[in-house]
Amino acid sequence: MDRAEPSAVPYLRESADGRISKLIGSRGSSRKSALRKKVKESMAPNPPKRRTCEEIRAGNKRLGIIMMLIAAVFFVGIVVHQYLLSRG
């Protein structure tokens, strides 16, 4: 895979095998851009599926429970800390 390198010439990319290739922007032929688009689409991961309302609610509930547990642990920690300091 090519990766963009931050440099003075952003239209050059370094390929995986070390060769430098020049990107053809919108000035290239329509066949080449259509081919590039097709290749880009085929390399993309599976598109994310839409979550149902039940899945969203379940995720929100899970997040709420986790946040409540974190707050409870901090609260208990502060109470224990104060108790230990008062005994001292």
Residues 56 and 72 in one domain: yes
C-beta of residue 22 within 8 angstroms of C-beta of residue 12: yes
Please tell me the distance from the alpha carbon of residue 46 to that of residue 17, in angstroms, as a whole number.
27
Residues 57 and 86 in one domain: yes
Determine the pLDDT at residue 70: 98
User: Among residues 6, 1, 36, which one has the least CA distance to residue 17?
Assistant: 1
16-69 pLDDT tens trace: 555 555 554 445 455 556 555 555 555 556 777 899 999 999 999 999 999 999
Residues 31 and 14 in one domain: yes
Query: Domain tally for the chain?
Result: 2
Please tell me the distance from the alpha carbon of residue 88 to that of residue 82, in angstroms, as a whole number.
10
Put simply, whether the predicted model's pTM sits higher than 0.85 gets the answer no
Q: What is the CA radius of gyration of the chain?
A: 27
